[in-house]
Amino acid sequence: MNAPSPALEVLDLTVAYGERPALWDVDLAVPRGTLTAVVGPNGAGKTTLVRAVLGLVRPAAGTIRVFGGPYRERRRLVAYVPQRGSVDWDFPTNVLDVVTMGRYGALGWLRRPGRREREAAVESLRQVGIEDLADRQISELSGGQQQRVFLARALVQDAEIYLMDEPFQGVDALTERAIVALLRELREAGRTVVAVHHDLQTVAEYFDEVALLNVRLVASGRVEEVFTEENLRATYGARGFLERPAVEA
């Protein structure tokens, strides 16, 4: 019997903005049921990688397979947690409403979200520990709460693979612990998570797999095998990664 296809497979992916390549000939396979960190310096193409997988940027070349098939046919299996700062949090709506948006894909045109959708949304809010904020205006949320809202919106999609763009960026310690617990729950349920990550200190603690990216893929695989000083130096440049601040503004 053949081994099951990886949750996510990226082959020869090249993305260019204008003349400059953002990603160059990247090959990556993410095994099912793992937590994978994508790390690399600023401008390494981490976000571009996620956006290319989701079809939000058009690759110049390359193939992307989700559970063995093209993304377009596997959309329902994929959930996306964008960067917190990518939306206007002053939009007139509340927490429950934003989380319910995660069900819009499964609802047809002209169908309004009903009780089932709202119940699923409340359940997701419970999973991220902010069910008491359901009626809160989104403009009144802290950074950590905003991040949890986005996570809940992805959870309500009930996907097989979760693509997260910097889920830990600018969140408080409490939220960070809650997110880590959530990632482990997802792994236990057999789900796959790919997260763009910035804090090199926590990679080994939080993740199983790591992809070191700097336009090209430097290395990818089990954290204990690939997350080596040599590979990090190759990713972040000769002056060493330790000069980098752990948290970016």
Partner 1 sequence: MIEELFSDYTLRTVALGAALLGVVSGSLGTYAVLRRQALLGDAISHAALPGIALAFLLTASKAPVVLTLGAALAGWAGTLLVMAVVRTTRVKSDSALAIVLSVFFGVGLVLLTHLQRSADASQAGLDRYLFGQAAALLERDLVTIGLFGGVALGVALACWKEFKLLSFDPDFAATIGLRVRAYDVLLTGLLVLAVVVGLQTVGVVLMSAMVVAPAAAARQWTDRLGVMMALAALFGVVAGVGGAVVSSSAERMPTGPTIVLWLTGLVVVSLLAAPRRGLVWRFAADRRRAGRLRLGAALADLDALAVRHGSLEHGHSVSVLELTAGRGVGRSLAALEERGWAQRTAEDEWAITEAGRDEARRRRGG
Binding-site ranges for partner 1 (CB under 8 A): 51, 54-56, 75, 78-80, 82, 86-88, 91-94, 98, 101-102, 104-105, 107, 109-110, 112-113, 137, 139, 153, 157
Amino acid at 90: D
Phi/psi at 224 (5° precision): -65, -20
Least distance CB 113 / partner 1 (angstroms) = 7
The 8-class DSSP code of residue 103 comes to G
Nearer to partner 1 by Cβ, of 135 and 243: the residue is 135
The DSSP string of 8-50 is EEEEEEEEEETTEEEEEEEEEEE-TT-EEEEE--TTSSHHHHH
Nearer to partner 1 by Cβ, of 33 and 55: the residue is 55
Q: Is 194 helix (H, G, I), strand (E, B) or coil?
A: strand
Nearer to partner 1 by Cβ, of 94 and 202: the residue is 94
Least distance CB 231 / partner 1 (angstroms) = 31
Nearer to partner 1 by Cβ, of 115 and 239: the residue is 115
Residue 130: closest CA among 172, 162, 78: 172
Least distance CB 60 / partner 1 (angstroms) = 17
Least distance CB 101 / partner 1 (angstroms) = 6
